[in-house]
Amino acid sequence: MTSNYSSPLIPLEDSSEEFAIEYSAEKYGSDELGFRQNHTPYRKTSSVAITKRSLFCWSIFGATMVFIIGVLIGRFVFAPKLPETKPKVAEVVPLQKQYTYSEMKKMLFNEMKAENIEKNLKFLTKNTHIAGSMKNEEVLVKDITDAWNVQLDKVEVYPYNVLLSYPNSSSPNYVGVMFPNGTVTRKSNWTETPFTTSEKQDDVIHVFNAYGAAGDATGHLFYVNYGRIEDYELLVKQGVNVTSGICMARYGKIFRGDKARLAELNKCAGLVIFNDPLDFAGQKKHTWNSQKGGKDVYPNSWWLPPSGVQRGSLHLNGDPLTPDYPALNITYRIPESESFLPTIPVQPIGYEDAYQLLSILGGNDAPSDWQGGMDFTYKFGGQFDENHKYCKAHIHVANYRERRTIKTVIGYIRGWHEPDRYVLLGNHRDAWTFGGLDPSSGTAVMLEVARAMSMHVKNGKWRPRRTIVFCSWGAEEYGLIGSTEWVEQMEKMLFLRAVSYFNIDIAVQGTGAFRALSTPGLGKLLFDVTKDVPNPDAKEIKQKRPSVYDTWLAKNFDFDDKTKPYIANIGSGSDYTSFLQKTGVASADIRYNYLYHNISSYPVYHSVHDTFAYMKQFIDPEFSYSLAIARVAAGLLIRTGDACVLPFKPTDYADKLAKLASLLQKQSGTVLDQHSISLENLHWAIHQFKEAATKMDAKVQLINSTSDLIHVRQINDKLFQINRGFIDFNGVPGRHYYRHTIFAPSSHDSYSGAAFPGIVDTIFVAKRGGSWDDVKKEISIVSLQILAAANLMAD
C-alpha cells in the first residue's frame, strides 16, 4: 500500500514505498489473527455452447482421467506405506534470513536512537490526554494507528464503553474548616500552581480521586498516618474512635483505593489523602513550613512543590460495570450500586493545604513513626486547637461518573514459523495530565522498539519465529481498564497461545539502577538480556560495570543470594495484572528506577508537573536511560519471540517456591502449630514440582538442530504453560478476580505482590477471629495447584 502517513511520531525511513508482505497459504496456513494470505482468485466464466467436437474431446479426457486414477489407486492404496519422516529444526527455512540473537541484537540496538525516543515523548506530552478524552481516544489513537499501519503487519483498534469518573469544574472539590455558622475557611485548592507555559493549559483536570463518591461530609478530623490496617488498629488501642469523622491519610505504603476501602470499613464519613513533604519533598521530620522558600523543590529540583497533588483512581481491575466480561455493547451492565465503588467522598490535597488542617489539630501526640515532614507535632486529632475548638472539618466532592468509549490499539509482527504463539509488549497511553514519565516515557520507548523491529521486517532482513504483539492500552489510570477488557475479550485465546507479556509503564523514573518485577521463570532471561545492554551511566562504566546488569547487581542485589540482582514479586498496579491473574501468562514489568528506598513513587507522580520538561531537566536529559530500556525490551522480545526453545527456566520457579514456603514457615509456623496446621503437604507438592522442573530443564538441554519440530513445539508449550497450572478459577478467597495461587496483590495493598496470597490472607483473618479451617483449605488448594503445574511438564 502507498502510505500517506504524516504523524509526528518517528516513521519508517522509506514509509512512502510499497509495503506488502506475502505469505504462502500452503506453507503457513491460516490463523485466527486473520492475516491475508495468497490464494488464486476464483473467476466466474461465461457459458460456452457444447459442440460435437467438444464432446469428443471431453470423452477422451474422461477416459484418460479414469486410467490415471486407477494407476494412482494401485500405487498408493494397495502399495505398502513408507514410514513417515518428521521435519527437523534445521530443515525449516524461514521466509527471510534468520540471524543469530547476537546479530539481531546488534542490528536492533544500532537502529534504535535516543533522539527518536525524545522526539516521541515531546509529541506525546504536548497536550493533556486523560482517558475518555478526544486527545487520548481519537488523536493519539490515530497517530499510533497510522504509524503502526505503515510499520507492522496488522493493526486493530478495540473500543470499550466503560464507566469513568471526572471532577465537576462548576463545583470544585475542596476540604476545609467549618465554623458553627456554616462558614468554611482554609479551603484546599483544586488546581496546582503552574511553573511552565505547558502547565498553564486550560484543560488540565482539577485534582481529584477518580470514583470518589459525590457528596458533602462534616465531622471531627482524625490523622490516620498511611491509612493502613495497622494504623487503624493502633488508633483503637489508643482509644481514638474515628466513626463519622473525616480521616486524613498521607500517600504512600499502600494503594490509595485500599486507603478508601479501609476508611469506609472504619466508618469514616470522608477521606482526605495528602502528599507529605517527608515522602515527596525530600524533607526531614518537622522541617517544612508554609513560609519556607521553594528553592529545594520543583522547578529547582525534582521534589514535589507545596501545591503539587497526586491524582489517581480508587478502583482497580477493569470496568466497574462489567466485571469478568469485556465492556462491549452486547455486554450486560450491573447496577452501579453493585459495583463496589467508594461510597464516601475522597479528595487529595497538597502539603501546603494539609499544613492548614494538621497544624491546628488537637488530641494526643502521634507516635514517632507517624510524624511527617511539616514543622509541628502530628496529633491523632478528634478536635482542633483552642482557636478552632468549635470547628469541624468539611469535605465537598462533586465528582460525576459517566460511560465513555476508550480504545486499545494492538499491532502485530507475524511470526514466520509459529504465528499462533504470541509474545506481547504493552504500555498504557492515557495520563492524568501530560504523562511526562507516567506513561508516555514508556509509550515513547515502545514506539521506537516497534519502529526498529519493523525496519528489519520490511527490508526483508528478519522476521520473528513467533508473532510479536504491541499493545497500547486505554484507561489504565482508572483501574487497568483497557488491558483488563481486552484480556477478558481474548481470554481463551490468550490462555492457550500467549507465551509472555512484558510491560513498560514508566520507562524511566530515576537513574539509580534497573528494576524488574516478574514471575520466577523469567529471571534468567532478564539477567541475560540486561548483561547485553550497555550501561547508560558513564560513572558506572568507570567503576568497571559496563552493562545494565552490572549496576543492577551492584546496587540492588538479592539479600538471599547476593550473586544475583533482586527481582520483586509481581503484584498489581499496572497492565500485566490481567495477563497473570486471568490467564496465567508469564509476565514482567521493567523500568529504570531511583535508589530512594523511603519514597513510593517519583515526587511529581500524577501531578501537573509530570511533563516533558521535568523528564528532560531532572530524569533523563540525554534519553540514554530510555534507550537502555528500549534495548532491554527489544532483547526480551527477540529472545522470547525468536528462540527455537523458549528461554524459560522451570527450576528457577521451583527454587522460588521452596524459598517462599520456607519464609511462610518462618513467619507463620508457630501460630500454625498452635492450631495443629501443617505445611508438610505444601512442601511435598513443591518437591514434586522441583523434580518435574529438573526433568524439564534436562529435556530442554537435549534439543538441537536434529530435533523434530513436533517435539520442540511440545517442549515450548509446556514451558509457557507452567504458569497456567497455578490458576484456580475460583479465585483467591474473597477476591475472585485474582486467580494466581502463588502471586497476587496483597489483600491490604493492591500494589504489592503477596506470595501464597490465599494462605496469607486466611491466616491474617484467622488471627482476628476467623476460621482456621479456611487456612487448612487454602494450603490444600495451593498444594493442588502446584501439583497441577508439575503435571503440565509431564509427558
Mean pLDDT, consecutive 10-residue segments, the chain of 795 residues?
48 40 32 35 35 43 46 39 48 61 94 98 98 96 97 98 98 98 98 95 97 98 98 98 98 96 98 98 92 84 98 97 98 96 99 98 98 98 96 99 98 96 99 98 99 93 95 98 99 98 98 97 98 98 98 96 94 93 98 91 98 98 99 98 96 97 95 96 98 97 88 96 97 92 81 83 93 97 98 93
Out of 153, 476, 610, 728, which one is annotated catalytic?
Answer: 476
The Cα 527–Cα 565 span in angstroms is 8
The Cα 303–Cα 603 span in angstroms is 5
The Cα 9–Cα 15 span in angstroms is 12
Cell digits for 568? Answer: 520483586
The Cα 718–Cα 728 span in angstroms is 18
pLDDT confidence of residue 572? 83
Q: What angle do CA 379, 385, 386 make, to 5 degrees?
A: 155
With left for phi above 0 and alpha for psi between -120 and 50, is residue 755 left, alpha or beta? beta
Return the H-helix or E-strand segment holding 755. Answer: strand 749-755
Cell digits for 677? Answer: 496446621
717 is annotated as an active-site residue: yes
Out of 54, 169, 290, 678, which one is annotated catalytic?
Answer: 678
Pick the CATH number of 650-792 from 1.10.287.1770, 3.80.30.20, 1.20.930.40, 1.10.150.120: 1.20.930.40
Out of 454, 740, 748, 761, which one is annotated catalytic?
Answer: 740
With left for phi above 0 and alpha for psi between -120 and 50, is residue 363 left, alpha or beta? left
pLDDT confidence of residue 189? 98
Out of 111, 717, 752, 774, which one is annotated catalytic?
Answer: 717
pLDDT confidence of residue 596? 86
750 is annotated as an active-site residue: no
pLDDT confidence of residue 124? 98
Return the H-helix or E-strand segment holding 442. Answer: helix 440-458
Q: Spell 311-324 as b/e; 16+ CB within 10 A means b.
A: bbbbbbbbbbbbbe
59 is annotated as an active-site residue: no
pLDDT confidence of residue 753? 66
Q: Which fold has domain 168-398?
A: Glucose Oxidase; domain 1 (3.50.30)
The Cα 688–Cα 391 span in angstroms is 64
CB contact at 8 A, 741 and 756: yes
In the chain, what are the domain boundaries?
101-165+402-533+574-642, 168-398, 650-792
pLDDT confidence of residue 411? 99
Q: Which fold has domain 101-165+402-533+574-642?
A: Aminopeptidase (3.40.630)
Tell me if 168-398 shares its fold with 650-792: no
pLDDT confidence of residue 91? 52
476 is annotated as an active-site residue: yes
CA 60 to chain centre: 69
Quick one: which of 387, 388, 172, 358 has its CA closest to 247? 358
